[in-house]
Amino acid sequence: MTALESPLRPADADIDYALCDADQHYYEAKDCLTRHLDKKFKNVVKWIDVEGRTSVMINAKQLTVVPNPTYNPVGAPGTLETYFRAENHSGMELRDMITMQPIQPEYQNREARIARLDEQGVQLAWLIPSLGLGIEEMLQEDPESGMAVFTAYNKWLQDDWGYDRDGRILTGPMISLMDADLAEKELDRVMEIGTKMIIMRAGPVGNPYGRPPSPADIRFDRIWAKIAEAGIIVAIHAGDAGYNKYLGDWGEPTKYMGMKSSPLTEVLAVGTERPIFDMMAAMICHGLFDRHPKLKVATLELGSAWVPELHRRLRVAFGKTPQLFKRNPNESFREHVWVAPFYEDNISHLRDVHGADRILLGSDWPHPEGLSTPGKWVGDFLDLGPVDMRKALRDNQLELCGY
């Protein structure tokens, strides 16, 4: 049975077709970084005790992207909906709003996740890292160790989940451009296995070259050419983009803040809208899609509020200096980039500026920032109308995957 022939339906949504979900997550096993780590780098990753809580040190730095890398307990799906819909009228802190629960089998076991996808009415799900999205920034000072850790992680991922075993779950090995030669070597390895997707963080490439280069720098063209020609999807997801270190310039804490919020940090959106806006602008303006016209990019857990403003700025820049572009940059943006909005975003506005065929459902399940089930998202897409809603909830992702 193919994805196009699915009999599944979400029980909690009034639609007669299965969903496709571009942003679900797994919670990593404790040995995800060490199971296949070359012994030469055994001291790069260490588990430690911090005031009675287990944490992990990577390159002598404590992991900050998740507060509890053992994942027991974890936040229950959907328990932060009030916060992210900006309806926290009582002023509760995040730590007081979140409901904790024991880790569930489907968070770490592939067979259990397939059974849960059946219950959710989800035929195809992309599964994205959790703690894996925070390790690149911690390894910038040592690209050789960084790439060794990425390779170890990607081997673990193939062991426990597989990149694409039956068309129900697609996972993506993580690729970093911190070292172009090592990145190409790892890309060649995962392509040989048969990956259909790679995962990257939003933001500039790290600084082993002396300054953070654009991901569209020509030194990476061999990598992008291989990705484009193979039809591999580039999934760019929220993570530690390295922007947090600039918060100190504005008097903000620069380390993990736990479950305590900061109004300026929320407004600056240094973990979501700011990095992806900059990265997409660089990719377009530095000609990446001109040189590699088959590239396909999906932005996940980065929302869509940045999309209209980027279209506006591209339109203005093209109007001022058309001679600096090989083609209309707005057309390039629409052609090459698919966007998964947040449930609190104006999805109709996204459709109007970016196109109905470039919207994806990304539920973030089972993270507490998402909703309790992917089907709970359907109501947020109703204003699109039935035709465009089906594109966003199902057909666009199938087409992007080549199904």
Q: What is the CATH number of the domain that holds 350?
A: 3.20.20.140
- Collapsed DSSP state (helix, strand, coil) of residue 343: coil
Per-residue pLDDT at 273: 92
Q: Tens digit of pLDDT for each residue in 290-300?
A: 999 999 999 99
307-323 pLDDT per residue, tens: 999 999 999 999 999 99
Model pLDDT, residue 184: 98
Say how many C-beta atoms besides its own lie within 10 A of residue 92's C-beta: 13
Q: With b meaning 16 or more CB within 10 Å and e meaning fewer, what string describes 331-359?
A: ebbbebbbbbbbbebebeebbebbbbebb
Positive or negative torsion for Cα 62, 65, 67, 70: negative
Give the separation between CA 257 and CA 393, rounded to whole angstroms: 34
Tell me which amino acid residue 298 is.
A
- Beta-carbon contacts of 39 under 8 Å, excluding residues fewer than 6 positions away, are none
Q: What is the Cβ-side half-sphere exposure of residue 86, based on CA atoms within 13 angstroms?
A: 7
**Structural domain of 374:** 3-401
Contacts of 11 (CB under 8 A, 6+ apart): 119, 121, 375
Please, are residues 385 and 347 in contact by the beta-carbon 8 Å criterion?
no
Count of domains in the chain? 1
R_g (Cα) of the chain, nearest Å: 20
| C-beta separation of 201 from 239 below 8 A | yes
Q: Which residue from 185, 172, 155 is spatially nearest to 23, judged by alpha carbons?
A: 172
pTM over 0.75: yes
Distance, CA of 76 to CA of 99 (rounded, Å): 6
Residues of the chain with pLDDT under 50: 1-3, 256-257
Handedness of CA 86, 90, 92, 96 (dihedral sign): negative
Rounded Cα distance between 374 and 12, Å, is 9
Residue 53 three-state SS: strand
- For helices 180-193 and 143-160, angle between their N-to-C axes, nearest 10 degrees: 10
* Whether the Cβ atoms of residue 342 and residue 357 lie closer than 8 Å to each other: no
Q: State the pLDDT at residue 1.
A: 42
- Segments in 102-142 forming alpha helices (H): 110-120
How long, in residues, is the chain? 403
Q: Distance of CA 106 to CAs 24, 130, 166, 362, Å? A: 11, 14, 17, 18
Q: Are 23 and 126 in contact (CB under 8 A)?
A: yes
Q: Peptide bond preceding 366: is omega within 30 degrees of 0, i.e. cis?
A: yes
The 3-state DSSP composition of the chain as helix, strand, coil percent (nearest 5) reads 45, 15, 45
- DSSP H or E segment with residue 39: none
Per-position b or e across 198-212, b if 16+ CB within 10 A of its CB: bbbbbbbbbebeeee
Give the residues across from 146 on adjacent strands: none
Residue 218 CB contacts under 8 Å (≥ 6 apart), including other chains: 291
Element housing 199 (H / E): strand 197-201
